[in-house]
Chains A and B, each alone.
Chain A
Amino acid sequence: MPDTDVPESVVPFRILPALTDLNREFWTAGARGELRFLRCNACGYYNHPPTAICPMCHSKDLAPHTVSGQATLHTFTVNHQPWMPGPELPYVIAIVELPEQAGLRLTTNIVNCPIDDIEIGMPMQVAFEHHTDGEDEIYIPLFEPARSGS
């Protein structure tokens, strides 16, 4: 199971996503430790970012589907620029690719890993960061190095 116990001090301030019917599962399923994407029940395509019609087969029969939470580090950048107040500098922005579908990627942050140890191609796993804003419980999917055997 993915680790849900990441300290919130890693990146204390976040701009949170506006929740919609289409994206709600993606941003909240971390409460159960799950990373979920909208997937087409007709052809199996993971449709991200989510839209109401499958771009491959045009079916409207889509539903959230839980993936493994595993990923491969596709690329990363060490960000030193204070774009917004809050994040401790530097921090790492990354794109990870999920094994469930070629080209299914997420922009994310890498946590729980010394910057010098980060390498493109390394196996990663999701680590959720919990935020409460009003009535919304939002879980941001961050990624950390995969533990061997996990």
Chain B
Amino acid sequence: MSKYIEKQTVISGVGQSDVGRRLFRDPLELTLDACLAAIADAGLTTKDIDGVATYPGPMSVPPGFSGAGVVDVQDALRLELGWWSGGIESPGQLGSVINACLAVAAGLANHVLCFRSVYEGSAQGSKGRSAVMPGGGGGGSFRASGFMEWTLPFAAPSAAPWIALMAQRHFHEFGTTREQLGQIPLTARKNAALNPKAIYTDPMTMDDYLNVRMISSPLSLYDCDVPCDGATAMIVSHVDTIADLRRPPIHVEAVGTALRGRPSWDQFDDLTTMANRDAGAQLWQRTDLTPSDVDLAEMYDGFSFIALTWLEAMGFCPHGEGGSFVEGGQNIARDGGVLPLNTHGGQLSAGRLHGYGFLHEACTQLWGEGGARQVPGDPEVGVACAGGGPLAGALLLTTHR
């Protein structure tokens, strides 16, 4: 299995800016705060950084979706780059980090700064989600095109109803229940209470979950993540640079990037799963480790149901059994669960840092730096998974090779 080139790469440092529901701060400032923190965490300086990767690159629509592009950071830190890449077309948000692994393994760079920056909380202001929806102004001459041509005319402009449609099908085929699904937001909230940067930390009960207002059935408000402001960064380094680093790094053991079905929310072959099905299967073909070796899982929960499909896709339970796997919450509990899940509170309670938060948390836990929320037992193997629907990218991480 040593032939797979991601094994030549490590995560050498992570960093994160202030995180808040609405910070009203300059998004490039937040981005640079995270980047400089990650560089220092690795024990490097800006002179060592010879690569930059980001998702999704500069975008003005939807508002707040991207706080900076590669060239903003390259210029602001006067970086000298051997390789760089930013864009929205990749295997999920962490596809940009996987690109960095490939570039490092290919010898185009030794230390790649990866970042993801959002300010959706501030951008939405007091007007809420409708302020940033396509055609959110209403009426006029706006016409739907591209993939939204097939959803916008039916008043389905958000991933909430798209994911709800898949969740309802999963409920129908496998008997999954809201009480089962609710364990994902409940677990996230419990973990968020131990995370000083989390957005929502008040205790949540199953009654709270079952009685909160519905968004798109079966998904309620607490099944949806919370838009926020903040930036997250990490450094991907070549394994040969370990002697130059501040502390033993986290090794990239395997990655998964596949997209085999149709890239569509309604034409995908099996609406009870997602592209993560194929990315997960691919990842396990690139390692001798198995799902039973994994000590913790940080899995995309833009909606709770996406995390449930990741649990199935990564082989922690069979397809269709995600509901029974999370039932009662014991299996995914931070303290004592067989697979602690979203130990920082996930995007559901810690804020939509959009994919990068999961990799940041996985590394933090594997370094034993989780503080009050540290998973007990010195975890050595973790997964970070991001993306929903046609987007899916996953990394298997270990503390030693």
Q: Please list the residues of chain A having a beta carbon within 8 angstroms of any beta carbon in chain B.
A: 11, 13-18, 23, 48-49, 74-87, 90-91, 93-95, 103, 105-109, 120, 140
Closest to B166 in A: A75
Cβ B213 vs Cβ A79 within 8 A = no
The listed residue (A48, A49, A93, A140) touching B156 by CB distance below 8 A is: A93
Scoring B residues 261 to 293 as 1 if CB is less than 8 Å from chain A, else 0, what string do you get?
000011101010000000000000000000000
Query: B327 to nearest A CB, angstroms?
Result: 22
Other than the known A15-B144, A49-B147, A83-B155, what 12 A-B pairs have Cβ atoms closer than 8 Å?
Answer: A15-B143, A49-B149, A49-B150, A75-B271, A76-B165, A79-B155, A81-B216, A86-B155, A93-B165, A95-B271, A109-B154, A140-B154
Given known pairs A75-B172, A77-B165, the reply for A83 and B150 (CB within 8 Å) is no
Which residues of chain B (147-168) have a CB below 8 Å from chain A?
A: 147, 149-158, 160-161, 164-166, 168
Chain B residue numbers with a CB within 8 Å of A94 are 165
Closest to B272 in A: A75
- Interface: B138 (CB within 8 A): yes
Q: Please list the residues of chain B having a beta carbon within 8 angstroms of any beta carbon in chain A.
A: 129-130, 133-136, 138-139, 142-145, 147, 149-158, 160-161, 164-166, 168-169, 172, 213-219, 265-267, 269, 271
Chain B residue numbers with a CB within 8 Å of A14 are 153, 155
Cβ A79 vs Cβ B149 within 8 A = no
Chain A residue numbers with a CB within 8 Å of B158 are 81, 83
- The count of A-to-B residue pairs whose CB atoms sit within 8 angstroms is 127
Cβ B153 vs Cβ A16 within 8 A = yes
Cβ A103 vs Cβ B267 within 8 A = yes
A-B pairs, 9 with minimum CB distance: A18-B143, A77-B164, A75-B169, A85-B138, A18-B145, A78-B217, A77-B216, A15-B152, A15-B135
Chain A residue numbers with a CB within 8 Å of B136 are 83-84
Cβ B154 vs Cβ A93 within 8 A = yes
Cβ B156 vs Cβ A120 within 8 A = no
Query: B137 to nearest A CB, angstroms?
Result: 8
Cβ A120 vs Cβ B168 within 8 A = yes
Q: Return 8 A-B CB contacts under 8 Å, by A number.
A: A17-B145, A18-B144, A76-B168, A77-B164, A78-B217, A81-B215, A83-B136, A120-B172
The listed residue (B143, B213, B216) touching A93 by CB distance below 8 A is: B216
Chain B residue numbers with a CB within 8 Å of A23 are 149
Query: A55 to nearest B CB, angstroms?
Result: 9
Cβ B157 vs Cβ A84 within 8 A = yes
Given known pairs A74-B271, A95-B165, A120-B172, the reply for A16 and B143 (CB within 8 Å) is yes
Query: B234 to nearest A CB, angstroms?
Result: 34
The CA-CA distance from A130 to B376 in the complex, in Å, is 61
Cβ B271 vs Cβ A16 within 8 A = no
The CA-CA distance from A13 to B142 in the complex, in Å, is 12
Chain B residue numbers with a CB within 8 Å of A95 are 165, 266, 271
Cβ B153 vs Cβ A15 within 8 A = yes
Cβ B139 vs Cβ A13 within 8 A = yes
Cβ A77 vs Cβ B217 within 8 A = yes
Query: A129 to nearest B CB, angstroms?
Result: 9
Chain A residue numbers with a CB within 8 Å of B164 are 77, 79, 93
Cβ B166 vs Cβ A17 within 8 A = no
Chain B residue numbers with a CB within 8 Å of A107 are 150-151, 154, 156, 165, 265-266
Closest to B156 in A: A93
Cβ A78 vs Cβ B130 within 8 A = no
Closest to A138 in B: B153
Cβ B155 vs Cβ A109 within 8 A = yes
